[in-house]
Chain A
């Protein structure tokens, strides 16, 4: 199960709406000790593509050094799908390299840049196996 604070989830969805039709991406960091999703960090999609995302390599280095300094881990790795469902693609599965992370997918295919329905689902991706998990929003208004 993924527990995620409501305001962080809102930030993720807003990022996805804003970057549509390109895929949006980022992480939510949290303490290594607890694994709680606490700190929203949006990232630039260096690929700027409606079908692919990639963190810029130097952004990635800076990010991981910062996580290390703060004793944090990437609890959630999120990205959006802009024309397909919020389910991990074959590419998503083959590139998933953080076995401890929750892979959160947002689909903006129905809303585009506007306020409209958005699909949000979360998964564990470990050794090529995808397992969907429920998303529990904490502190919803």
Chain B
């Protein structure tokens, strides 16, 4: 299984500065659990009690996972998961 996870600048403190890290998981939720093992603290930036955090965008290849199943989104053998914090404000 080869999932490449692209990490935004603001979360690279959890990956020793790396902008892409490998991961594995049958679902997105599993992948995040897997990432947490090597990058402790990352999970909490992505997930809250309700699921994926509202203002963190996660994409499976070209699609926003909100439209695919959120944390339950099944992952193929090989894919690129991209994380981008929302650009937002008031």
Question: A25 — nearest CB in chain B belongs to which residue?
Answer: B87
Please report whether the interface of chain A is mostly helix, strand, loop or mixed according to DSSP: mixed
Instruction: Give chain B residues whose Cβ lies under 8 Å from the Cβ of A106.
Output: none
Partner of B90, one of A27, A60, A77, A89: A89
A95 near B88 with CB under 8 A, answer yes
B8 near A60 with CB under 8 A, answer no
Instruction: Give chain B residues whose Cβ lies under 8 Å from the Cβ of A96.
Output: 89
A95 near B9 with CB under 8 A, answer no
The interface size of chain B toward A, counting residues with CB under 8 Å, comes to 17
Q: Say yes or no: is A58 at the interface (Cβ < 8 Å to chain B).
A: yes
Nearest CB in chain B: distance from A66 CB, A: 13
Q: Say yes or no: is B39 at the interface (Cβ < 8 Å to chain A).
A: no
Q: Say yes or no: is B27 at the interface (Cβ < 8 Å to chain A).
A: no
A91 near B90 with CB under 8 A, answer yes
B10 near A99 with CB under 8 A, answer yes
Interface residues on A, range: 20 to 34
Q: Say yes or no: is A55 at the interface (Cβ < 8 Å to chain B).
A: yes
From A5-13, A46-54, A112-120, the one touching the partner chain is A46-54
Q: Say yes or no: is B50 at the interface (Cβ < 8 Å to chain A).
A: no
Q: Given A58-B64, A60-B84, A61-B84, is A98 in contact with B90 using a C-beta cutoff of 8 Å?
A: no
Instruction: Give chain B residues whose Cβ lies under 8 Å from the Cβ of A88.
Output: 89
Instruction: Give chain A residues whose Cβ lies under 8 Å from the Cβ of B66.
Output: 57
Q: Say yes or no: is B37 at the interface (Cβ < 8 Å to chain A).
A: no
Partner of A51, one of B9, B10, B90: B90
Partner of B10, one of A23, A25, A97: A97
Nearest CB in chain A: distance from B55 CB, A: 6
Instruction: Give chain B residues whose Cβ lies under 8 Å from the Cβ of A95.
Output: 55, 85-89
Q: Which residues of A, 18-68, contact B by the 8 Å Cβ criterion?
A: 23, 25, 27, 43, 47, 51-55, 57-58, 60-61, 64
Which positions in B face A, CB cutoff 8 Å?
8-10, 55, 57, 59, 62, 64, 66, 82, 84-90
